[in-house]
Each structure stands twice: as C-alpha cells, then as structure tokens.
C-alpha cells in the first residue's frame, strides 16, 4: 500500500472538514460535505485487494448517494421556505 496516497486522503479529509466548519451558506455546506464524504469513501476502500473493503466502499457510496439526494431535497425546502 502506498503511504503517500493514504496521507493525501487524510490531509484532504482534514482540509475539507475545516472548510465545512467555516461554511456560511447552504451551498457551501453542501459542497464541503460532499467533498468530505468523497474523501471518506476513498479511505474506506483504500485496501483494494480486500473483498470486505470493496464491499464497504460500494455500500458506503450507495448510502451516501441516497442521503445526499435527501439532503438536497431538504435544503431546497429550507431555502424555499426562508424566502
């Protein structure tokens, strides 16, 4: 396993977490959360030769897509109701 890739994923995840903490608008929160989760997906499937790792990244990706679509729908309702 390449340690450089792993450290890059950890660094990017940390950076996106800091970006998420400093977000002021709904779209910024959503984009930062999606980038944060993308890096988490990559970290969960880091060991490509392990079957459980491949299964974990697939399940994590499908659940992330479903929750992301629900979140976008909720944010649009929130934005619409606030004017």
Q: What is the mean pLDDT of the chain?
A: 87
Contacting residues for 45 by C-beta, under 8 A, at least 6 apart: 53, 54, 56, 57, 60
Of the candidates 55, 57, 58, 64, the residue with the CA atom closest to the CA atom of residue 36: 64
pLDDT for 48: 77
pLDDT score recorded for residue 60: 87
pLDDT of residue 54: 85
pLDDT at residue number 33: 87
pTM: 0.72
**Residue 51 clears pLDDT 70, i.e. is over it:** yes
pLDDT of 33-47, one tens digit each?
Answer: 888 888 888 888 888
User: 48: which 2 tokens?
Assistant: 């490509």
pLDDT, residue 1, reads: 62
Please state, in angstroms and as integers, the Cα–Cα distance from residue 82 to each residue in 54, 55, 70, 79, following that order.
41, 40, 18, 5
Inter-helix orientation angle 26-44/3-21, to 10° = 160
């Amino acid at each position: 396993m390449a340690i450089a890739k792993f450290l890059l994923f950890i660094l990017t995840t940390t950076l996106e977490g800091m970006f998420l903490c400093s977000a002021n608008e709904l779209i910024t929160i959503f984009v930062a959360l999606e980038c944060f989760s993308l890096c988490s997906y990559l970290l969960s499937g880091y060991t490509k030769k392990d079957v459980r790792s491949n299964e974990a990244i697939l399940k994590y990706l499908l659940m992330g897509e479903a929750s992301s679509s629900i979140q976008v729908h909720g944010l649009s309702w929130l934005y619409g109701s606030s004017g």
